[in-house]
C-alpha cells in the first residue's frame, strides 16, 4: 500500500531563486538567477512569462549579482563551489559569457547600477590590493582596472550619476554603521555626504534624473530605517517616508520618473510605488500577501518606469519573479518554480506569536502547528545572522516536518533585524549571553503549551543558528531530544580569528576581541561545555566555507566522539556557507529531516 504521507522529495520539488531581478534595456524581458539547471545560473524570461532562456550553463559556479548596460551587455559575478571568491564575467549582447577576472582569494562586488549610462565603464569593488580591505575600481573591461576609492576601508561602489562623472560609494563600518561618499569618477576625489557620530546606517538608492542627489535609506535619529533624499552637500537630506517600520529596499527608473520601495511589517512586505513627476502614489501592486528574502528581492524598474520586477515569496509556495505594471498595479508571476508534485500538497501558513524573555522583552516568533490528536513534538528553529530576520517564506524543511506531525517555532531573538535599531544591537558583543535566555524562554514557552510534547523538543539552525544550536545542546542540555547544526561556529576564539579578512575589523564589536578577551569568548563558546551534551547531534559542514571554516565543526565533532556522544558528521566537499547545488541541498536537508524525525517521533 502506498504511504499516505507525501515523500520528502515532494516538498523540495521546486527551484530556488536568488534575489536578483533586472530588466533588459528595452523592458521586454527580466533577467533572474535560479537553480533550474541544478546550479544558480543566469536566465531571461519575457515580461509576460513563458519558458526562460538560459544564459549561463555553469555546473560548479553560482551567479551572485548582475548589472545591465544600455546596449544589453550583462556584467555579473559568480563564485565556485560556494567559496565566495566572486569573479567578474561579461556577456555581450547576444554573446557568450566571458570571464574578466581570475584572482584567487579575491572577492568582487557590483551594484545593479554599476554601469555608466553610456555603457563605456563600470564600477566594482574588490580586495585585490589588500585582503582586509574593499576598494572601488573603474574599468572599461579591456584595459587594466583603475583604482578609484576606499584605501584602508571596507568599501563598495554604488550607482553612477546620470552623466557618469560621479559615483556613489559606501564605507561599510558594521551592520549598523556605514557612510556614503560621492566620488569623482576621474580623479577619485571624494566627499563624505553623511558624516555622523555613533552608529547610523546609510544605504544608497537611485539618483534623481537631474543628478542633484539620490535617495538613501537611513535610520539617522530613528529606530527604523526610513527613506530620504540626499543632496550633494554633506548633511543635506530631506525625509521622504518615515514609517514606524523599516524601509528595506528602494529602486528608481532610469528616467527618474518612478520610485518604488519595500516596507517591512513583522516580516511581511509591502510594495509601494510613486510617480515622482506628480508626487502621487501609484496604485498599490496587486501582489498576494507575501514577503521577500532577508537578502532582498532584486527590486528593479524598467527604464521608463512602466514595469517593476522583484522576487516575491510566500509561506505556502516557493518564490517567483513577479512583474508589476506600475500604472495599474496589475501583477503577475513570470516564472513557475514548482514542479508537478508540489502543486498537490496542502501547505501551511504560520501564526505570528511572541513570548516573554528574562527581561520582559517580547520575542517575536512564527508558530507552525501540525495536525495532531494530542501534544506534538516541536523544533525550535533559529535563523542565521544573527542580524537577520525569520520571515514567512516557503521553508521546505518546516513543511515536511509538519507533514510528519512535528511543529516548528521559528524565532526572531534579540539581534534580529526588522524590530528597530535598539533590538538589533542587543546581540553585539553578547553571543551566548542574553540570547541564551531567549532560547531558554522559547523552550519553556513551548513546554507550557497544551499542544506541545515538552519531552520531545528539537533545535535546529545554520550559521549563527548553528552556533545557537550548539549553545542550546551544551548549555541547556535538559531541553532537547535532537539537534542539527549546519555550519555553526563552536569556538568563538578560533571563529573570530578565521573569518574572511575584511571581517576582522568588526569581530571585536560583534563578538569579542580574540586577543584581549579570550577568556570571555571561551566562556561563551559551546566547545567549553561539550561534556554536557545529551541530545543526538547532526553536524553539517561545507569544506569550502569561508565564514565558518571547517575546523569549527571538526573540533566539536572530535570532542563529542571522544566523549562517546551520539553525533553524525557530514561534510560537503563542494560547498561553502550553505548549499549552492540542488542535489546537495536536497541531500543535506533530507539528512536534517530524517534526523529530527527519527529522534522526535520514535517508532
How many CB atoms neighbour CB 111 within 10 A? 21
Average pLDDT over every residue of 394-400: 96
Q: CA torsion sign, 326 to 327 to 329 to 332?
A: negative
For cell 501551511, name the residue: 348
Q: CA torsion sign, 148 to 150 to 154 to 160?
A: negative
Q: Confidence class of residue 372 from pLDDT cuts 50, 70 and 90? A: confident
386 preceded by a cis bond (ω within 30 of 0): yes
Report the alpha-carbon distance of residue 154 to residue 432 in Å, rounded. 27
Report the alpha-carbon distance of residue 6 to residue 179 in Å, rounded. 50
Give me the pLDDT at residue 603, please: 65
pLDDT for 269-284, tens place per residue?
A: 999 999 999 999 999 9
Give me the pLDDT at residue 346, please: 85
Q: Can you say how many angstroms the Cα of residue 485 is from the centroid of all Cα atoms in its chain? A: 19
Average pLDDT over every residue of 537-541: 98
How much of the chain, in percent, has pLDDT values that exceed 70?
A: 99
Q: Which of 159, 135, 157 is nearest to 147 (CA)?
A: 135
Give me the pLDDT at residue 2, please: 45
Q: Confidence class of residue 1 from pLDDT cuts 50, 70 and 90? A: very low
Backbone region of residue 571 per phi and psi (left: phi > 0; alpha: psi in -120 to 50; beta: other values): beta
Report the alpha-carbon distance of residue 554 to residue 490 in Å, rounded. 9
Report the alpha-carbon distance of residue 430 to residue 509 in Å, rounded. 9
Report the alpha-carbon distance of residue 589 to residue 577 in Å, rounded. 14
- For 216, the enclosing helix (H) or strand (E) is strand 213-218
pLDDT for 172-209, tens place per residue?
A: 999 999 999 999 999 999 999 999 999 999 999 999 99
Q: Can you say how many angstroms the Cα of residue 64 is from the centroid of all Cα atoms in its chain? A: 12
Q: Are 509 and 527 in contact (CB under 8 A)?
A: no
Q: Are 370 and 406 in contact (CB under 8 A)?
A: yes
For cell 534580529, name the residue: 416
Average pLDDT over every residue of 19-28: 96
Using DSSP, state whether 65 is helix, strand or coil. Answer: strand
pLDDT for 210-253, tens place per residue?
A: 999 999 999 999 999 999 999 999 989 999 999 999 999 999 99
Global pTM value: 0.95
Average pLDDT over every residue of 416-441: 97
pLDDT for 341-352, tens place per residue?
A: 787 788 999 999
Average pLDDT over every residue of 159-173: 96
pLDDT at 95 over 90: no
Give me the pLDDT at residue 157, please: 95
Q: Are 330 and 271 in contact (CB under 8 A)?
A: no
Amino acid at each position: 500500500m502506498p504511504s499516505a504521507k507525501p515523500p520528502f522529495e515532494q516538498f523540495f520539488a521546486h527551484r530556488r531563486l536568488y534575489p536578483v531581478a533586472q530588466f533588459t534595456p528595452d523592458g521586454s524581458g527580466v533577467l533572474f538567477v535560479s537553480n533550474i539547471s541544478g546550479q544558480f545560473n543566469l536566465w531571461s524570461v519575457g515580461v509576460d512569462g513563458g519558458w526562460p532562456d538560459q544564459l549561463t550553463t555553469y555546473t560548479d559556479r553560482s551567479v551572485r549579482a548582475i548589472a545591465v548596460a544600455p546596449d544589453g551587455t550583462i556584467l555579473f559575478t559568480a563564485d565556485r563551489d560556494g567559496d565566495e571568491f566572486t569573479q567578474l564575467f561579461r556577456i555581450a549582447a547576444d554573446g557568450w559569457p566571458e570571464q574578466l577576472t581570475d584572482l584567487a582569494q579575491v572577492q568582487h562586488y557590483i551594484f545593479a547600477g554599476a554601469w555608466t549610462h553610456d555603457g563605456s565603464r563600470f564600477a566594482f569593488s574588490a580586495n585585490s590590493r589588500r585582503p582586509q580591505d574593499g576598494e572601488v575600481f573603474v574599468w572599461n573591461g579591456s584595459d587594466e582596472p583603475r583604482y578609484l576609492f576606499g584605501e584602508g576601508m571596507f568599501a563598495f561602489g554604488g550607482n553612477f550619476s546620470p552623466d557618469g562623472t560621479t559615483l556613489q560609494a559606501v564605507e561599510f563600518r558594521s551592520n549598523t554603521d556605514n557612510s556614503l561618499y560621492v566620488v569623482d569618477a576621474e580623479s577619485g576625489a571624494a566627499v563624505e555626504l553623511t558624516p555622523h557620530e555613533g552608529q547610523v546606517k546609510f544605504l544608497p538608492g537611485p539618483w534623481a534624473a537631474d543628478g542633484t542627489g539620490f535617495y538613501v535609506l537611513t535610520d539617522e535619529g530613528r529606530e527604523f530605517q526610513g527613506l530620504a533624499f540626499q543632496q550633494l552637500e554633506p548633511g543635506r537630506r530631506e525625509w521622504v517616508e518615515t514609517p514606524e517600520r523599516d524601509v528595506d529596499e528602494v529602486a528608481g527608473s532610469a528616467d527618474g520618473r518612478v520610485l518604488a520601495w519595500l516596507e517591512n511589517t513583522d516580516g511581511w512586505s509591502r510594495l509601494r510605488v510613486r510617480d515622482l513627476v506628480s508626487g502621487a502614489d501609484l496604485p498599490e501592486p496587486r501582489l498576494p500577501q507575501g514577503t521577500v528574502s532577508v537578502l532582498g528581492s532584486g527590486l528593479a524598474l524598467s527604464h521608463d518606469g512602466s514595469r517593476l520586477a522583484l522576487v516575491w515569496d510566500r509561506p505556502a509556495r516557493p518564490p517567483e519573479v513577479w512583474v508589476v505594471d506600475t500604472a495599474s498595479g496589475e501583477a503577475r508571476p513570470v516564472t513557475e518554480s514548482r514542479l508537478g508534485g508540489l502543486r498537490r500538497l496542502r501547505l501551511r501558513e504560520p501564526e505570528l506569536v511572541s513570548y516573554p524573555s528574562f527581561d520582559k522583552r517580547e520575542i517575536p516568533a512564527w508558530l507552525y502547528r501540525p495536525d495532531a490528536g494530542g501534544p506534538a513534538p516541536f523544533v525550535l528553529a533559529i535563523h542565521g545572522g544573527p542580524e537577520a530576520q525569520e520571515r514567512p517564506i516557503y521553508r521546505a524543511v518546516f513543511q515536511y516536518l509538519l507533514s510528519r506531525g512535528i511543529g516548528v517555532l521559528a524565532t526572531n531573538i534579540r539581534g534580529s533585524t526588522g524590530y528597530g535599531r535598539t533590538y538589533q544591537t542587543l546581540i553585539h558583543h553578547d553571543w551566548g549571553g542574553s540570547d541564551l535566555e531567549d532560547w531558554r524562554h522559547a523552550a519553556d514557552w513551548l513546554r507550557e503549551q497544551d499542544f506541545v510534547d515538552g519531552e520531545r523538543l528539537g533545535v535546529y539552525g545554520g550559521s549563527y543558528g548553528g552556533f545557537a544550536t550548539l549553545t542550546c545542546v551544551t548549555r541547556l542540555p535538559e531541553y532537547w531530544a535532537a539537534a542539527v547544526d549546519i555550519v555553526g561556529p563552536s569556538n568563538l576564539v578560533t571563529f573570530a580569528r578565521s573569518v574572511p579578512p575584511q571581517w576582522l575589523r568588526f569581530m571585536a564589536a560583534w563578538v569579542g576581541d580574540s586577543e584581549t578577551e579570550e577568556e570571555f569568548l571561551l566562556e561563551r563558546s559551546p566547545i567549553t561545555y561539550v561534556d554536557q551534551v545529551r541530545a543526538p547531534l547532526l553536524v553539517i559542514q561545507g569544506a569550502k566555507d569561508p565564514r565558518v571554516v571547517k575546523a569549527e565543526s571538526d573540533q566539536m565533532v572530535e570532542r563529542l566522539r571522544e566523549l562517546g556522544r551520539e553525533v553524525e558528521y557530514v561534510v560537503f566537499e563542494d560547498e561553502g556557507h550553505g548549499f549552492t547545488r540542488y542535489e546537495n541541498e536536497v541531500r543535506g536537508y533530507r539528512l536534517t529531516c530524517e534526523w529530527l524525525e527519527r529522534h522526535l517521533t520514535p517508532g
